[in-house]
């Protein structure tokens, strides 16, 4: 369980570090009610997911059993997002292969 928690903690901390500058402006836009499209709030949604994963991983490290379930779900979500990103990059690389 500890390797999973280390990956969760590192991934969540890095994501929150890089996305934190964009978060205040997006929250201001959300409060203004300018858009109803979910994709406009992707930074807030992703940061919320990573924050829950970070907190659950910290509690799971301390041995809190329900937090282990949430930490595993966070790991699975990050794994799925990584696969989608990798497949998207590979698809673009194959698509652009003849043009580069």
pLDDT > 90 in the chain, percent: 2
**pLDDT tens, position by position, 64-73:** 888 989 988 9
Kindly give, in sequence order, each residue whose CB lies less than 8 Å from that of residue 7, ignoring residues fewer than 6 positions away. 75, 78
DSSP percent split of the chain into helix, strand, coil, nearest 5 = 85, 0, 15
The answer to whether residue 95 scores a pLDDT higher than 80 is no
What are the structural domain ranges in the chain? Answer: 2-96
Structure confidence at residue 94 as a pLDDT band (50, 70, 90): low
**pLDDT tens, position by position, 6-42:** 888 888 888 888 888 888 888 888 788 766 677 777 7
DSSP-assigned letter for residue 21: T
Structure confidence at residue 4 as a pLDDT band (50, 70, 90): confident
């Amino acid at each position: 369980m500890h390797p999973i928690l280390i990956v969760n903690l590192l991934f969540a901390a890095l994501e929150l570090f890089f996305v934190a500058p964009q978060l205040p402006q997006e929250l201001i836009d959300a409060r203004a009610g300018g858009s109803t499209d979910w994709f406009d709030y992707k930074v807030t949604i992703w940061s919320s997911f990573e924050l829950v994963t970070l907190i659950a991983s910290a509690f799971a490290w301390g041995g809190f059993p329900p937090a282990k379930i949430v930490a595993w779900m966070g790991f699975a979500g990050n794994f799925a997002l990584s696969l989608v990103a990798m497949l998207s990059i590979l698809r673009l690389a194959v698509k652009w292969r003849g043009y580069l």
